[in-house]
Amino acid sequence: MSEEQFFKELQAKTEKVFEESEVYSKNKDKKWFYSICNGPIFRNKPIVCGLNWGVSRQKDYKGHSPQKNYPHSIDTDTWPFKTHVNGYLQKYFNLSFDEVNYSNLCFFRTPNTDYLSHKDWRDAIPLFREYVEYINPPYVIMMGLPKKLNNQELFKIEKYGFLPEGDNRRSFTRIGVLFDRYKFGALPHSAAHISQNTHDALWKILLEKFK
């Protein structure tokens, strides 16, 4: 099955699950909808993911559209998250953001994760699993805490901390196995209030543990 054919099938499943979701039933008027991936699908390449897609904070925001068409390119080069991740991918993995797959654990858009119920996560994660299994990545890097994954989805999880000199706040990277097969690492999101040195230290730990 080609990448576009797979996307079309996953999009149809996503639309059905989303339209039956609790978050949609409570917020139909908001036009948040869903997305599957930002950029084309690269089989056998790494996946970078967040928790869920956000919504625009612009004053003239009138809603998003559901993602129905296969994306042949990443939709913006001025995205702060992309700039942040791209720097560390290049430094530690010799890859650019344009060479990896980008998605989210939950395809449903919301202003933040508080809008998503336990059922929304349980309904959405199987869609993400299909995406991962089709791609068959050498590893998956999540930006954010993986607490929405249960112990049948993420296991052998170990936590590695870094304490900056002169600070009393330790930050962590978490390493495990996703869906019984894939190397998995979780790092603080680009928006986390930690120093560049801390981000560097945690990405370095991730690279060492992936070897």
Whole-number Cα distances in Å, 82 to 32, 49, 190: 22, 11, 9
pLDDT by 10s per residue, the chain, length 211: 899 999 999 999 999 999 999 999 999 999 999 999 999 999 999 999 999 998 877 777 778 899 999 999 886 666 788 888 999 999 999 999 999 999 999 999 999 999 999 999 999 999 999 999 999 999 999 999 999 999 999 999 999 988 877 677 888 999 999 999 999 999 998 878 888 899 999 999 999 999 8
Cα diameter, the chain: 54
Write down the domain spans for the chain: 3-55+74-210
Identify the DSSP state of 93. I
* pLDDT computed for residue 2 by the predictor: 96
Strand order in the sheet with 171-178: 101-106, 47-52, 139-143, 182-187, 171-178, 154-162
Q: Contact, 39 vs 86, CB < 8 A? A: no
CATH architecture under which domain 3-55+74-210 falls: 3-Layer(aba) Sandwich (3.40)
The burial of 202, by beta-carbon neighbours within 10 Å (0-12 exposed, 13-18 middle, 19 or more buried), is given as buried
Rounded to whole angstroms, the Cα distance separating 22 from 7 reads: 24
Q: How far apart are CA 161 and CA 176, in angstroms?
A: 15
Helix axes 3-19, 118-135, angle to 10 degrees: 170
> For residue 115, how many C-alpha atoms fall within 13 Å in the half-sphere facing its CB?
21
